[in-house]
Amino acid sequence: MGIKNWFFEPLVDIFTEITSKEIIIEENQEKSKIILPHYENGKEYNFRPKTFKEYIGQEKIKQILMKYIKGTKKRKLPFPHTLISGKAGMGKTTLAQVIANELNKILVEAITSEIIDIEKLKELIIRCDGNILFLDEIHALPRNIGESMYPIMEDFKYEGFRVKPFTLIGATTELGEILRNRKPLYDRFKIILELEDYTEEEIVKILNQYKEKIFKVEKLCQEVYEIIAKNSRVTPRHAIRLLEATIYFEGNVKEVLRNFNIIKDGYTKKDLEILKYIASNEKGVGLQGIAMFLDTSTINYLYEIEPYLLKNGLIVRTPRGRKITLKGLKKIVELEKCLQ
């Protein structure tokens, strides 16, 4: 047919010309697969929930997703494009994998910082092959590439060719960034989900489940789970990290907290340093100043350190920078007493 189109040539059964004729072209790329638990000598050693039943917490979100899954299956329609927002370590990737499993679909996963040009996007859609494309940190998607997604997401078309219907699931820690600078992309997601904070009780359940899957023969008392939950910043990823450390420290959770510089309720020595530094600068401290003080990147501070301090009302963001609150001043006194 003499058709020359960068988006069309490598595909097989993914794009068809918008005519009555089908065009079939050989495709040599391997399909990605859903990440499944890895076994060695019959033992599972990496565990992610695979069903909504196993996925603890986020009950409202699970209800929404189950209704959509049931409804789209009944009507034989593609599952709608979905945007999941939440802090780092809250389970966004795991939720995307659960959705894929419940739909019996393959999950193709990519981090948007790796999508540097249209060719990379084309490759991902080829691999997706009508299944689920999961883009992590989608707020970082280059604007021009995001704009090229609009007709694909809305009509499954691109430059005059049909795209095999698929589901895009985007995950972000910066929903505000998308609303501010990627609003047209945001508007093309039909399901918008914001992960809610976990409770300590839910974290305890997650820890129990993880321990029974990975460390079945180990014995831990209920108090250990509760201590870990209190010091996990109610974030599953942090909690599991502390649980594994506690297992390897032969159940001595207090020694684990001490070695990881956790003072109390998830607050670390670094948190105390930050609070004292901000308190010493009444006019406010800029983001760059805090990062330089900690000798870390601004990204690390924004995603790993600051959210817990903001959430608990210890600091506030102002036009002049971060400032300490009265609650933050009281927390400094409390934490210093714990170190005495």
* Chain segment 220-257, per-residue pLDDT in tens: 999 999 999 999 999 999 999 999 999 999 999 999 99
Q: Please, are residues 278 and 293 in contact by the beta-carbon 8 Å criterion?
A: no
CATH number for the domain whose boundaries are 200-260: 1.10.8
* Whole-structure pTM value: 0.82
Nearest-10 crossing angle of helices 200-214, 236-248: 50
Tens of pLDDT, residue by residue over 143-189, are 888 888 899 999 998 887 888 999 999 999 999 889 988 899 999 99
Residue 270 has pLDDT above 90, yes or no: yes
Residue 4 has pLDDT above 60, yes or no: no
CATH of 267-339, one of 1.10.10.10, 3.30.450.20, 3.40.50.1110, 3.40.50.450: 1.10.10.10
Q: 197 an active-site residue?
A: no
User: What letter would DSSP give residue 186?
Assistant: H
Tens of pLDDT, residue by residue over 280-309, are 999 999 999 999 999 999 888 988 899 999
Tens of pLDDT, residue by residue over 113-140, are 888 888 888 889 889 999 999 999 999 9
Q: 93 an active-site residue?
A: yes
Q: Which of 167, 172, 173, 268 is catalytic?
A: 173
Q: 230 an active-site residue?
A: no
Torsion of CA 231, 232, 234, 239, to 10 degrees: -140
Please give the Cα distance from 329 to 279 (Å, whole number). Answer: 7
Q: Please, are residues 337 and 330 in contact by the beta-carbon 8 Å criterion?
A: no
**CA neighbor of 176 nearest in space, from 85, 292, 259, 296:** 85
- Could you tell me the residue ranges of all domains in the chain? 15-194, 200-260, 267-339
Q: 51 an active-site residue?
A: no
Using the structure block, give the residue that is written with the tokens 């939950």: 229
Least confident of 39-53, 62-76, 128-142, 321-335: 39-53
Q: 48 an active-site residue?
A: no
Q: Which of 164, 205, 213, 237 is catalytic?
A: 237
Q: Which CATH class is domain 15-194?
A: alpha beta
Please give the Cα distance from 276 to 32 (Å, whole number). Answer: 48
15-194 and 267-339 agree in CATH topology:
no
Residue 23 has pLDDT above 50, yes or no: no
Q: Which of 82, 112, 122, 136 is catalytic?
A: 136
